[in-house]
Structure 1
Amino acid sequence: MVWLALDGRPALVRGARRGIGAAVVTALVEEGVRVVATDVDRAGVETLAARHGERVTARPLDVTDATAVEALVAETEGTLGPLDIAVNVAGILRDGPVAGLSDEDWAAHFAVNTTGVFHVSRAAARRMTGRGRGSIVTVASNAGGIPRAGLAAYAASKAAAVMFTKCLGLEVARQGVRCNTVSPGSTMTDMQRALWTAGEEEASTRRVIEGDLASYRTGIPLGRIAEPSDIADAVAFLASDRARHITMHDLYVDGGATLRA
């Protein structure tokens, strides 16, 4: 708690019910942050909140609905006070080659992974700039910076979210608001496991770590797949005053997998 000095600050985390989102909530709570945790899955986010007691308030939220986002951010400030931290985590991934990608799948990726980031970040920035402080952190993906076969819609939507966040950061820097992204590589989440063959987790893990020439993927130099907490710790750091001179930055947390291409 002494290190990040976040005790008592209000935060909004979208996409909080599991995986990286749940880990972000935990990391912030451990630093004394009061969190409104949101997700389209009401039951899931309420279960998460129950584990943390009064530090976490659960609210259902469809981030593609701009009106609902504005209302929830206003409610958060009415309940917890001026919002200091906003974290975008929610995302979807539907893999497959471009030739087989439906219009619906393409639109869904951008609705959640990009437009949802726009809705939450805009609502937060409108309030933060008037107070001269605040931190907005978006969880993107290293796929947004290096081509991945079968992930065109996901990669494009994440790349768009990164550049949006950088542009927003440039616009609000003079008002004391910082905007950064964290780009994870392969992380032990349900989204990662969904890409693997059922019953072959050990073999799939090894392929990710060692790389796959057939799909033009490098391995992971550090020799391990990230845990959600690895990503959450980076988010908490960027949200804190320890990162007070960092903005418009895209922090790769991928064990060196992209060789920072």
Structure 2
Amino acid sequence: MAERNTGSHHGVPGGSGTLAGRRALVTGAGQGIGAAVARALAAQGVHVAATDRRAEGVEALAAEHAVADGASKPGGITPYAMDVTDAAAVHTVVDTVTTRHGPLDILVNVAGILRPGPAAELSDEDWTATFAVNTTGVFHTARAVAPGMAARGRGSIVTVGSNAAGVPRVHMGAYAASKAAAAMYTKCLGLELARTGVRCNVVAPGSTDTAMQRALWQDPEAPRRVIDGDPAAYRTGIPLGRIADPSDIAAAVLFLVSDPARHITMQELYVDGGATLR
């Protein structure tokens, strides 16, 4: 019989909210939101397996939290090169992580790409590549991690999606569709795993100061247009008057994987300064 989550974990009193001693896998951790999530978890005493398709980013991140001889250490970050589009590679890394550090308590899906362009003019390659990372990548990691969580009767999976998944955006058809699919997959997974005590949620950021966001800015006034809104692109502005920092998104993830969120599952938390008027 699976061990159910009763609010305590690794000797931590229930309700304290501490994550110390838990183990997490974060995808897309080489930069931006993924790196911020890995740092936030490590700061709470979580040992993080930080993965990215390019090893350089996660290796630099791990150097901030040195782990001697690759041994598991609360609050440490261990880097792994992993392409979420490669199912076999994902299973290999998950097996390696669990063997070296122990069963995973947390999975955060952050890896994503953006191929902007008119919806009717996207190439097959742009469409396929976008879904391969943003949607199929989530499927690969969840499929590799969820059964172990379910067997132990505890765990938390968070997929970092986008507010574009719920609001149409000009020139973002593939991205928005892929994020919408990933969000619904995560919720369906959460429904199926709920009885085991495993929770699955989505964090949906809006415009966030990352390399992906900056690549869309063509001139110095672009950030101001994001904040003020762009009627020509059918975009409202950001009511809070600021573009998110990656740490804002990481804070939302941190909450959803914590004990105070133990009764929250299958939810989509928009972290966009009110841009979608939700």
Give the TM-score range, shorter chain: over 0.9
Structure 2 regions of 5+ residues with no counterpart?
A: 1-11, 68-75
Cα RMSD of the aligned pairs, angstroms, is 1.2
1:43 aligns with: 56
1:152-171 equivalences in 2 (<5 Å): 152-171=173-192
Check conservation: 1:183, 1:251, Cα contact below 8 A.
yes
Check conservation: 2:16, 2:259, Cα contact below 8 A.
no
Q: Shift of residue 163 of structure 1?
A: 0.2
Matched, 1:175 2:196: yes
1:132 aligns with: 153
Summarize deviations over 1:6-46 as a string: whole Å, max 9, x none. Answer: 00101000000000000000100110000000000111111
1:219 aligns with: 237
Aligned pair partner of 2:102 in 78, 81, 97: 81
TM-score with structure 1 length normalisation?
0.97
Moved over 6 A (4+): none
Q: Shift of residue 100 of structure 1?
A: 2.0
1:23-62 equivalences in 2 (<5 Å): 23-54=36-67, 55-62=76-83
Cα distance in 1 for partners of 2:199, 2:94 equals 18
Cα distance in 2 for partners of 1:117, 1:110 equals 10
Summarize deviations over 1:127-156 as a string: whole Å, max 9, x none. Answer: 100000000000000000000010000000
Q: How many residues align?
A: 257
Secondary structure of the 1:52 match is coil
Summarize deviations over 1:29-77 as a string: whole Å, max 9, x none. Answer: 1100000000001111111111121201000001011111111111111
Higher helix share: 1
- C-alpha change, 1:3 and 1:223, in structure 2 (3 Å) is farther
Structure 1 regions of 5+ residues with no counterpart?
A: none
1:60-209 equivalences in 2 (<5 Å): 60-197=81-218, 200-201=219-220, 203-209=221-227
Secondary structure of the 1:120 match is helix
Matched, 1:251 2:269: yes
1:237 aligns with: 255
Cα distance in 2 for partners of 1:101, 1:147 equals 16
Secondary structure of the 2:66 match is helix
Q: Shift of residue 4 of structure 1?
A: 3.1
